[in-house]
Structure formats: C-alpha cells, structure tokens
Structure 1
Amino acid sequence: MSETSEERVLAGRTVLVAGATGGIGEGVTRALLRQGARVVAAGRDEERLARLAAYVGDTGPGTLVTEVMDVGDADGSGVRDRLAVFGALDGVVITIGDWGNPERTGILDTSSEEWERMIAANLTSHFHTLRTLTPLLKKDGALVHLSGFSAEIPYPFAALVGATNAAKKSLVRSLTAELDGSGPKIYELVIGPIRTRPRAAIGADNPGWFSAEDLGRHATRLIAGDGPYAEAPLQYLITRAQGVRTSPPQ
C-alpha cells in the first residue's frame, strides 16, 4: 500500500513513542505523523526532544506532543499520571535500548559492573516500560516492541547486547501469551540494521536495510489493525530483500 493511500489511517488516534529521540524513534515518529496520529514523543532529555520537534517540523497531518519522562522508571505512577491527560492510548511503540560499551569485549573480560549496568539499562528498563504502558492502552490498541536480531544468533564480543535482546524478546512473547487476546495486541519486531540519520552521518548506510520510517509505516499498519501481519505477534524485519517474515531468516 502506498504512503498516499495510507494517509490519515491513524487520524484521531494517539500513539506514544518511547525512545522517540533516538535514530529509530525519530523515523517512527515521522511515519506516524504522516498517517495522522497524535504522537506523544517520550524521552528523558528536553534538549533532544526539542531537536526532534525541530526535525519533524510540520510533518503532518498528525500532531506532535513532547513529554520529558523516563518510561523505564521503576515507579511508573508519575508516567501514568502525566499520560492520563491523553486518555487511553491507541498505540505504543517501544524503541529504547543501550548498546553498552562501544569497545568489543569478550564475555570473560566483561566486568560485573558492566553486566549489572546493561541488565538495568537494556532489560529491566523494558520490564518497567511494559508494566507501566501496557495498561494505558485501549483493549483494541497495540503495543509494538523492537528488539535486535542479536536475540537470535551468537553475538561474540557484544554478548550482553545479544543476551538482553533475547531476554526482552522472551519477556514480550510471554506477555502476549499471558494476555491471550484479552487485552491490547502485543507485537515483537526483531530487526536487523536500520537506516537512520545518525548512522548515515557516520557513513553506515545501506539501501538494502529497512529505514526507521519503514519501521514506522509497518507499526502504523499494526496499530491500525490491518494488513497481512496484523495477526502475527512475532515478526522479523532483517533486510528489504527478505521482507517481513514470521520466522527467523536462515
């Protein structure tokens, strides 16, 4: 379906993007705005949210609201109180994460401190986010959670990223099973490398990768409840050539 024919498919709907100021988050935000959503862009840094607002500019026909908040905070009451003004949410997209130490480090050389930090930043925060945001969704709403493909494969010298991605995937899949159709739909998207502005700025770009806005357009269809993948709680978006899959590509 073309972008034009999808236009305004989320008109009148409210979607929260957790991690909206990241490279993937800003692309998802733009795509949702193009489809008419009221996008609540959540982030922890006011300056980065201001830069996001400047970047998306008058992208429309949707409207952007920025909220400085930590959706991964252990006490979600403040987040819930802040979001109450928007009423029940139609959609949530969770694109938060931490790559950890940029230096490649083997498992046997990883400190206990780095292990604990990564568990807190890249797993516990997702548990808190799911626990806080899922009950804010309408019963017919949708939550879209992103994890990296390192959840599926060995990830030497960056094993903490892979381990936390695998644990996040399991957490989300278990939530889907627990709700068992009685609440909002929960989608786990396992993604490969994604084209983003920050990556392009350092020369890491490949037309064979999905873009951040591609992910946003896909999330749009899931939140709208249509398209061929609306009933598939687990999906893989690794490369454009492989397309959207419901089982890991070989």
Structure 2
Amino acid sequence: MSEIQEDRLLSGRTVLVAGATGGIGEGMTLALLRQGATVVATGRSEERLAGLADHVKEAGPGTLITRTVNVGDADSEKVRAQLSPYGALDGAVVSIGDWGSPERTGILDISDREWEEMIASNLTSHFHALRALTPLLSPDGALVHLSGFSADIPYPFAALVGATNAAKKSLVRSLEAELGGRGPRVYELIIGPIRTRPRAAIGADNPGWFSAEDLGRHAGRLVAHSGPYADAPLQYLITRAHGVRTTPPQ
C-alpha cells in the first residue's frame, strides 16, 4: 500500500482507543491519526491524556479527541452514555489492563489478594470493556483486542499474567463466535514484547520487536477491512522475524 493510500485509509472513520495513555495505546493512537482517523482516546487520567495530546499534536491528518473514561467500569451503561456523542464507532482498540509486576512470584506463593487484584485489573476490566464497547460499534465496524503471548505458553513466576491473558483470549474468541458475522468484526491480536516510548526511555528496546506504531497501523488496516489479514479473527504478532501469523510461532 502506498504512503498516500495509508494516509487516507481511515479518513472519515472514528476509532476509539481504550488505554490510549499507556505505552502501547499511545503508539497506536499516533499511527491511527497518521492513517487519517478521528481517534477518541480514552483513559482514566486527565493529566496523562493531556500529555498524550501534546505528544501526538503534529501527527495528522487525523483528529484527536480525548475523553476521561474508564471503559473497564462495571457500569457499562454509564460508559456508553459518555461515548455516545461520537455515534456508531468504526473501530475500537482495547489496550488496557495489567501487564504484570516486575517482581516474579511462583504460583504456590501467590496470595489471595494478589490473585483477586490481577483478576480484577486484567480480566474483569476487559469483560466490562467488551460489554460496554461492542454495542457502540457499527455493524461493519471492528473491535481489536490485545493479549500477551503468555496466553499460549507457560509463564513461570508470572502465572497470573498468563492465566488472565489466556482467559481474555477465550473471552474474545467466544464473543467473535457468538456474533458469527452478524455484528462488528472481532479480532484478537496475541502480541510479544512491544517497542514503546516508555520502554525505550529505560533502555528496554529491541529492533526485532514490533513497535506500538506497527500495531496501530495493523489495527487500522483491520478496521478498514483491508489487507491479507482482514478476515482472520486470531492473529499473532510476536516478533518482526515471525511476521504476522494466524497460528502461533513454534
């Protein structure tokens, strides 16, 4: 696809990014703006949303709208009411949750409190987001959800991250099956480590990883129902060397 076509890919379309102030959400927002979308960027902090707006202010040609909304709130009707002014969405990207503590703990040493907190932040919040956002999408729109590769592999000493990722993957795949082509398209993207601005700032960067902007460009093509993966509801973006796949890399 040429650069001009890419710039116009999402012209006239509105895409919501849930978790837009996180490292991945920020990069995806930037890429979607560069594809010409009107991006409704949501987050829980007005200060962080203001920082996002400053970071992407030269992105163009799309338009940024920021809203302080917790899409993982249990009150789905309230969430929908906060977002209803933007009409039927053409796309929604869900990049929320807890990617795990740097402190590693074995399964047998995890406390009930740690278990309950991870379930709430990395699974229940996603259930609430799916319930709130799916009805806001147009019938020919697309919901793009992100989960980590620990959904598919053992994740020693961070098992709660893996367990909640596996549960999220199942939840989204089941939603896609329930809709059965009678509503918005639903995509589950299983991702590996991602290059982000915050990670680069602490020296955690690898040119072999996909970047958050790569994910955003890919999500934009899915929203536009464009490209070779537009009809693949489950996709793996683990490393650049593996490319985009519809089956897990070995």
| TM-score, structure 2 as length reference | 0.98
Counterpart in 1 of 2:126? Answer: 126
Aligned counterparts of 2:181 and 2:76: Cα–Cα separation in 1:
24
CA spacing shift, 1:18–1:199, aligned 2, 3 Å: same
Residues 37-52 of structure 1 mapped to structure 2, 5 A cutoff: 37-52=37-52
Tell me the amino acid that sits aligned with residue 207 of structure 1. P
- Displacement of 1:239 in angstroms is 0.5
What residue number does 2:27 align with? 27
Which residue is 2:155 aligned to? Answer: 155
Q: 3-state SS of the aligned residue for 1:207?
A: coil
CA distance in 1 between partners of 2:245 and 2:101 (Å): 31
Q: CA–CA distance in 2 between the matches of 1:95 and 1:145?
A: 7
Alpha-carbon shift at residue 2 of structure 1 (Å): 4.1
Give the equivalent residue in structure 1 for 2:206.
206
Structure 1: distance between partners of 2:226 and 2:57: 28
Within-5 A mapping of 1:210-225: 210-225=210-225
* C-alpha deviation, 1:4, in angstroms: 3.5
Q: Which is further off, 230-239 or 98-107? A: 98-107
Query: How far off its partner does 1:14 sit?
Result: 0.4
* TM-aligned CA deviation for residue 88 of structure 1: 0.3
RMSD, aligned CA: 0.8
Q: Which runs of 4+ in 1 moved over 6 A?
A: none
Provide the C-alpha distance between the structure 1 equivalents of 2:103 and 2:56, rounded to a whole number of angstroms. 32
Q: Which residue of 2 aligns with 1:248?
A: 248
1:105-124: CA deviation from partner (whole Å, max 9, x where unpaired): 10001000000000000000
Aligned to 1:231: 231
Tell me which residue corresponds to 1:193.
193
Within 1, Cα distance between the matches of 2:7 and 2:184? Answer: 23
1:41-90 per-residue CA deviation (whole Å, 9 max, x = no partner) reads 00001100000000001211100000001000001122111111110000
Letter in 2 for 1:164: T
- Count of residues paired in the alignment: 250
Structure 2 CA distance, aligned partners of 1:222 and 1:53?
A: 24
Q: How far, CA to CA, are the matches of 1:101 and 1:49 in structure 2?
A: 23
1:10 match: 10
What is the aligned partner in structure 2 of residue 174 from structure 1? Answer: 174
**Following the alignment from structure 1 to structure 2, what is the Cα–Cα distance between the partners of residues 61 and 98?**
31
After superposition, the Cα gap between the structure-2 partners of 1:127 and 1:25, relative to the gap in structure 1 and judged at 3 Å, is same
Ranges in structure 2 where 5+ consecutive residues have no aligned partner: none
> Which secondary structure does the structure 2 equivalent of 1:230 belong to?
coil
Specify the code of the residue in structure 2 equivalent to 1:172: V
Which residue does 2:77 correspond to in 1?
77
Alpha-carbon separation, structure 2, partners of 1:215 and 1:102 = 24
The residue aligned with 1:111 is 111
Q: Does 1:142 align with 2:126?
A: no
**The residue matched to 2:188 in structure 1 has which SS?**
strand
One-letter code aligned to 2:40: V
Unaligned 5+ runs, structure 1 = none
CA distance in 2, matches of 1:187, 1:13: 18
User: 1:97: Cα distance to partner?
Assistant: 1.6
Aligned letter for 1:197?
R
Structure 2 distance, partners of 1:177, 1:228, is 21
- Quick one: which amino acid aligns to residue 129 of structure 2? T
Fraction of identical pairs, as percent: 78
State the TM-score, normalizing by the size of structure 1.
Answer: 0.98
